[in-house]
Chain A
Amino acid sequence: MMLPLRPHWARTVTVARVVALAAAAVLLVGVQMGGLGRWRLFGVYPDLLVVAVCSAALQRGPWAGVGAAFVFGLLADIAGGHLVGLSVLCYAAAALVAGPLGLRAFPERWIVTSSAVALGTAASQLAYVLGAKAFGYDLAFWQAGPRIIGALVLYHWLLTPPTFLLIRSLLDMIWPRRLDA
């Protein structure tokens, strides 16, 4: 499928919107690393940022998701990541997997949202392991990957309703939809 390379929002970037997006990113990274890091469920820590990126991609298309992936991933990696930049690629992979679903189906339906989050989570984890392997870190994906992805998907489904609504409000505030055709 050909993805549109000229997103509408790229022509409407303003300083205020960039600052608003950066503030949202700081807040989400703070919640992820400072708060959710204490709430291990099903043996894993959640990745709120993947859910946020998938939500953005579902609502505004894959390239909006890639934009969110860049901001969230880079900030998160600089704040405490190991391979700085790898999270950007992982979140971008999640956005590119989740986004097309939003273009083909009504993104507000639970089955669409949950499928997008599940596929995005799996894509981001796979991308992370492959990326780490490319830089010499042989993470044991086959021993633990399926279990981690399964547990993460369950956890992310719990986080999806509030995150989806939050991202929708944020996007409506930062980049309002055009009402004309």
Chain B
Amino acid sequence: MRGRAYAAAAGFLVLVLVSVMFATSQPRERVSWLEAAVRDGLTPLFLAFNRIAETAAGVWDTAVSLKSALEENRRLQEEVEALRREVARLEEFERENAVLRRAMNLPEAAPVPVIYAEVIARPLNNWWGVVTINKGSRHGVAPQMPVVAPEGAVGYVRTTSSFTSEVILLVDPRSAVGAIVQRTGQPVLVEGMGYPGTALRLRPLTASVDVTVGDVIVTSSLSSLFPKGIPIGVVEQVEIGDFGLSVDVIVRPFVDFGALEFVSVLATRGAGEAAEAAGGAEAP
């Protein structure tokens, strides 16, 4: 008799779990109060373990890199010199661009407010490309805001709690970002692969797309998430299907998603409303 009661309780529990799974499987911008409370409550613990792991990884990396430190230093100095020259060249382009925009009466691009955040937790399993950052709605972060790193596009904010946000990475199977091939300007879609890894799949949006290995892919002005021109990655492999009817393109992202430590959330939209709703707190 008691055995049946246990079986009934177990069956009921499974039913409840399936219902919860169904409710949370739908796209949503807000998490429940319970999820928000647990995430906010666990933030100090995540930060503590994250710092410990970071320190341990730092010690390991230092030990490994000591051997090649001298050569690395020389290479980096050369790279700094090259980047200084590049910055000077780009500043000249920027000045020229501003002059031309004024001459043509085009509006100046407004600077986007940036919210800097630290990655404090990573996914439970390997099938999703998701990280948790230590800035939430209290700091002005809102769903759908793009997230970038110095190397390029990282992903976008999916949900927020008061002090944390969940960021969907570009490699996540749910991610799809509008982009262009920088060399030709042709529009493409960059998607997660549907399984864990560090590569992205490129889908052409025109009948014939001119893309070759080494082409740089950047975000498009047609993207509803990202501002235009943010680097995504470089084309690594192009496979043309039978009779040229299909093309399979693999993109290697510039960002190493496994080594992400700090990211920037671009408060492109909703930041004001989010901060207002949170009691007028301003994004740093």
Contact = CB atoms under 8 A, between A and B. Distances in A.
A27 B49 CA distance: 10
Interface residue tally on A, bucketed by range: 35 or more
B196 interface: yes
Contacts of B24: 81-85
A128 B123 CA distance: 14
Given A78-B35, A80-B123, A84-B35, A31 B195 contact: no
A139 B127 CA distance: 7
Interface in B38-90: 38-39, 42, 45-50, 52-54, 57
B34 interface: yes
Interface string A41-82: 001110101000000000000000000001000011111111
A34 B126 contact: no
Interface string B16-38: 01101111110000000011001
Contacts of A10: 6
B3 interface: yes
A75 B194 contact: no
A5 interface: yes
A75 to B, nearest CB: 7
B128 interface: yes
Contacts of B17: 85, 88-89
A133 B25 CA distance: 11
A87 interface: yes
Interface residue tally on B, bucketed by range: 35 or more
A80 B125 CA distance: 10
B53 A81 contact: no
A2 B247 CA distance: 53
A136 interface: yes
A34 B25 contact: no
Contact of A33 (B23, B124, B174): B124
Contacts of A161: none
Contacts, number: 141
A49 to B, nearest CB: 7
B2 interface: yes
A70 B2 CA distance: 21
Interface stretch (A12-20, A105-113, A140-148, A167-175): A140-148
B160 to A, nearest CB: 13
Given A26-B42, A39-B53, A80-B39, A135 B25 contact: yes
Residue in B2, B24, B42, B125 with the greatest tally of chain A CB atoms within 10 Å:
B125
A148 B193 CA distance: 14
B33 to A, nearest CB: 11
A135 B21 contact: yes
Interface string A20-32: 0000001101111
B127 A129 contact: yes
B122 interface: yes
B51 to A, nearest CB: 9
Contacts of B122: 33, 37-38, 45
Contacts of A30: 42, 45-46, 48-49
A148 B197 CA distance: 10
A44 B196 contact: yes
B126 A44 contact: yes
Contact of B258 (A40, A88, A145): A40
B7 interface: yes
Nearest to B24: A84
A26 B54 CA distance: 20
Contacts of B265: none
Contacts of B39: 78-80
Contact of A144 (B121, B166, B196): B196
A128 B125 contact: yes
8 contacts: A34-B45, A34-B121, A37-B121, A45-B125, A79-B35, A80-B121, A82-B130, A84-B21
Given A43-B196, A79-B42, A80-B130, 5 more contacts: A30-B48, A35-B52, A47-B125, A70-B13, A88-B17
The list of the 7 closest CB pairs from A to B, nearest first, reads A37-B122, A34-B49, A144-B195, A34-B46, A35-B49, A85-B17, A30-B45
Interface of A: 5-6, 10, 26-27, 29-40, 43-45, 47, 49, 70, 75-89, 125, 128-129, 131-132, 135-141, 143-145, 148, 152
